[in-house]
Amino acid sequence: MHLTLIVNPFASTANARVRVQLERLLREHHHVTVVETTKSGHAIRLAHRAVADGTDVVLGLGGDGTINEIANGVMGMGATIAPLPGGSTNVLARAIGYPNDPLQAAAAFLKALDHPDTAQTRVLAGVGRAGDRIFLFHAGLGFDAAIVNRVERRGPLKRYAGHALFAAVTADNWMRSLRNRQPWFRIESDSGAVVEDAQLAVALNTDPYTFLGNQPLTLAPEARLERPLSVVALRSLAPAPALKAGLTAVMGRRGIPDGRSTTHWSDVGRLVVRGHRPFPYQLDGESFDEVDELTIDYLPEVVTFIVPPPAD
C-alpha cells in the first residue's frame, strides 16, 4: 500500500528522532512518501497532490491544524486519511481512539490497516464547513476564538508552554469580558431555534471539545463524526454561570445542558451566526479574521478515517 506522510516540522513532538523511528516503522510494511510543510496552508496542496497521484492513505504528523489542512485538501476526492499526534493537544487523533504518542499511534494505524473487518477500522465521516473551510472536530465563535487567536500570535511560546499558556490567556480574556458584557452574536439553527445574545458558541463534530493534559473537556457527549453537529452556547460569562459551565465540562460526562445562561442543540445541519459586532472564529484550533456573519453547515460522508481497531 502507498502511504503519504505529511510532516509539520514545527509541531511539538515532530522531532528528528521521532520522525526517523516513525518512517522506519511505516516502511517495514508499506511504500511511504514523506513530505514536509513549510508554511500555513501548505498541507492542503500537498494532500491534494498526493491523492491525485494515487496514494492510498494520507497521514498527518502534526497538530490538529495539520490534519485539518489535509482534510481540506482532499475533500471530495474519496480520500482516506489518518492523524498521527504531533501537536500539543491532538484533539482529533485522541477523540477517534489513537494513543497520544506518534509511534504508538502509528502502530495502531498499521494494525488497523491489517484488520480483517474494515467496517471496524474505517469511518466515513461528516465534517462541518464554515465559509470555504471545513473543520473536523469543532468551530469556536466569540470568546472561544478570541483565546485561540491570542495563543496563535504567540507561536513559539505555544510550542513550549502549551496548556499553561491557554490557561493564562483564558483567565485574562475572561477578566476582560467582565468589563464588556455586550453580546457578541445571534445564532439560529436550521430548526428555527434562536439565541439572540450569545457570548460564546461551539459547533462540535466530535467529543470531547478539547483536552487539558489527559483531562477531556466534554461539552456535547453525543457529538459524532457520523451525525450532524452539536451546538453549545453561553449567553453570559459572569462568574457564576461561567464557573458552572467550566466545572461541568471538566467533571461530568453529560455535557453542557440547556439552562438560563446556556444552550445545547443536537443534530444541527446548519447554523447561521450574525454578529452584534464583528466576532472572531476558529476552526480546529486555527484562528481566522473577524466577520460580521458566518454560516456553518454539516456535510455528511466527506472523508474516510482509518481508526484503531477495537481492543482484543
Q: What is the pLDDT of residue 172?
A: 61
Residues 142 and 104 in one domain: no
Residues 106 and 169 in one domain: no
Average pLDDT value for the chain: 90
Query: Within a domain: residue 69?
Result: yes
Query: Within a domain: residue 129?
Result: no
Alpha-carbon span 136 to 54, nearest angstrom = 23
End-to-end CA distance of the chain: 25
Alpha-carbon span 55 to 223, nearest angstrom = 30
Q: Measure CA 145 to chain center.
A: 13
What integer is the mean pLDDT of 179-199?
90
CA-wise closest residue to 68 among 112, 4, 127, 116: 127
Q: What is the pLDDT of residue 292?
A: 97
Q: What is the CATH number of the domain that holds 80?
A: 3.40.50.10330
Residue-number span of the structural domain to which 271 is assigned? 134-300
Return all residues near 29 (Cβ < 8 A) that are at least 6 apart.
110, 113
Contact 7, 83 (CB under 8 A): no
Query: Within a domain: residue 123?
Result: no
DSSP state at residue 182: -
* pLDDT tens digits, 213-264: 888 999 999 999 999 999 999 998 877 877 888 888 888 778 999 888 999 9
Q: Bigger pLDDT: 179 or 221?
A: 221
DSSP state at residue 299: E
Handedness of CA 163, 169, 175, 179 (dihedral sign): negative
Q: What is the CATH number of the domain that holds 139?
A: 2.60.200.40
Q: What does the DSSP assignment read for 3-48?
A: EEEEE-TTSTT--HHHHHHHHHHHHTTSEEEEEE--STTHHHHHHH
Residues 187 and 228 in one domain: yes
Domain boundary pick from 81, 114, 147: 114
Residues 223 and 281 in one domain: yes
Q: Measure CA 104 to chain center.
A: 21
Query: Within a domain: residue 245?
Result: yes
Domain boundary pick from 59, 86, 114: 114
Q: From residue 90, how far is each of 105, 140, 184, 203 by CA, in Å? A: 11, 16, 28, 18
Contact 159, 88 (CB under 8 A): yes
Give 163's pLDDT tier (boundaries 50, 70, 90). Answer: low
Residues 165 and 280 in one domain: yes
Residues 141 and 182 in one domain: yes
Q: Bigger pLDDT: 154 or 276?
A: 276
Q: What does the DSSP assignment read for 187-239?
A: EEETTS-EEEEESEEEEESSS-SEEETTEEE-S-TT--TTSPEEEEEES--SH
Return all residues near 99 (Cβ < 8 A) that are at least 6 apart.
85, 105, 108
Contact 98, 308 (CB under 8 A): yes
* pLDDT tens digits, 9-37: 988 887 888 999 999 999 998 999 999 99
Query: Number of structural domains, the chain?
Result: 2
Alpha-carbon span 299 to 84, nearest angstrom = 24
Query: Within a domain: residue 20?
Result: yes
Alpha-carbon span 195 to 180, nearest angstrom = 19
Q: What is the pLDDT of residue 168?
A: 66
Residues 91 and 150 in one domain: no
Return all residues near 141 (Cβ < 8 A) that are at least 6 apart.
184, 185, 187, 198, 200, 201, 202, 203, 273, 279, 280, 281, 294
Q: What is the pLDDT of residue 191?
A: 96
Residues 174 and 266 in one domain: yes
Residues 37 and 152 in one domain: no
CA-wise closest residue to 135 among 302, 273, 11, 306: 302
Query: Within a domain: residue 173?
Result: yes
- pLDDT of 169 > 80? The answer is no
Q: What is the pLDDT of residue 145?
A: 87
Q: What is the pLDDT of residue 190?
A: 97
Query: Within a domain: residue 127?
Result: no
Domain boundary pick from 114, 149, 174: 114
Q: What is the helix (H) or strand (E) element at residue 151, kind and residue range?
A: helix 143-152
What integer is the mean pLDDT of 285-310?
94
Q: For the whole model, what pTM was predicted?
A: 0.90
